[in-house]
Amino acid sequence: MRTSRTLRQLVVALALLVAFLFQATWVLAGTTGRLVGQVTDEAGAPIAGAAVKASSASQAVVATTDAGGHFTFLTLAPDTYTVSVSKDGFNPTTYPGVTIFADQSQSLSLRMQKGLKTIATVGARASGNLVKSGTTADVYSVNAATQTAVQGIGGGGNLDSAYSAIYSQPGVVSQIGNYGFGQVYYIRGSAYSQVGYEYDGVPVNRAFDNYNANSLSSLGSQETEVYTGGSPAGGSSATLAGYINQVIKTGTFPGYAQANLGIGTPSFYHKAGVEAGGATPDRLFSWYVGIQGSNQMYNTLDNTNGANQAIDGSGANGIYSSPFNAYASTLSFYPNGTFSTCGPNGPPAGALGYDP
């Protein structure tokens, strides 16, 4: 009798246990869903060790793929998920809009592309950018070879000057038809009197109007530096909007020499140029000399080419011929310092300066 009662209690206990288990499973299955899938590469090979993340407003869970590239999320709250997968050597992949329903299983195939390996990160910026972040003044250097290549940009009147090199730089705007000495141009909208000029580091702005007193000849120029903005910390010329500095050539070992002769018609364009330089083998002493003359005569009578002349030859401006434009000659010596002279449109002709 006792044995029968014990057996009956055991059966009841087992029945209650099974009922509880079934009840729990029914409740679980009715409130969550499942997401399974596989991660492969472009060739279809499984990717092991990939991190798979399913995120929504309800929850965010992470799983790792096995050796076969499989992953499983057993209990996901019903919601719309974004599934993302990442692994070293592959480009991250995201699949939005994966909807999970209660008591249902979703299957998803994820494919990843191999990514390029980053060895180093290099930042580059074009040297000709007009605006640079955090920079109030930019400097552009035009060497002699580039200056020769762009000499025609400013027109035929600038073939022997450095103005074309200046006009080719960002932020510089010139007037149409500029030629000769003292050309007017604007750096970032500045006035002509707000530009500073130096000739090999020597200030050459005129005292009475702060304008350029140098001819800006292309002969003898090693490079023309164009600053768009205030002058550099070592600049001596007063400036608010721009800064021009011409660096003259030096002699080399072995030495060099060059001669030019030109003639033009019908614009009556003449040219002559001599350039020579040399130095001792140890460069303790170097010398350079450059002489150039140009003559361009566009007007035959006056600045209106005779349009304002009366029949008898008289006129408001009278009759005159265009002046001869002689570009600054350059004579320089470098015995541990700099001797230079330039004229007639530079510092007073024959003036001799020394930079220790």
pLDDT in tens, the chain (356 residues): 555 666 666 666 666 665 555 444 444 445 788 999 999 998 889 999 999 999 998 889 999 999 999 999 988 888 899 999 999 889 998 998 888 888 888 888 999 988 877 777 776 666 555 555 555 567 888 888 888 888 877 666 777 888 888 888 888 888 777 777 778 888 887 777 788 888 887 888 887 877 777 778 888 888 888 888 766 666 666 677 788 888 888 888 898 898 888 887 766 778 888 889 999 998 889 888 888 887 766 555 555 556 666 666 555 444 433 333 434 444 444 444 333 333 333 333 333 333 33
Nearest to 356 by CA among 342, 341, 343, 339: 339
Distance from C-alpha of 50 to C-alpha of 232, rounded to nearest angstrom: 55
211-166-184-345 Cα dihedral, nearest 10 degrees: 50
pLDDT at residue 246, rounded to an integer:
87
Burial class (CB in 10 A: 0-12, 13-18, 19+), 207: exposed
CA–centroid distance for 274 within its chain = 37
pLDDT at residue 8, rounded to an integer:
67
pLDDT at residue 304, rounded to an integer:
57
- Count CA within 13 A, CB hemisphere, residue 173: 8
pLDDT at residue 346, rounded to an integer:
36
pLDDT at residue 54, rounded to an integer:
93
pLDDT at residue 32, rounded to an integer:
83
pLDDT at residue 325, rounded to an integer:
41
pLDDT at residue 39, rounded to an integer:
94
Distance from C-alpha of 112 to C-alpha of 46, rounded to nearest angstrom: 10
Amino acid found at 169: Q
The label of the residue with tokens 């209650």 reads 16
105: left (phi over 0), alpha (psi -120 to 50) or beta: beta
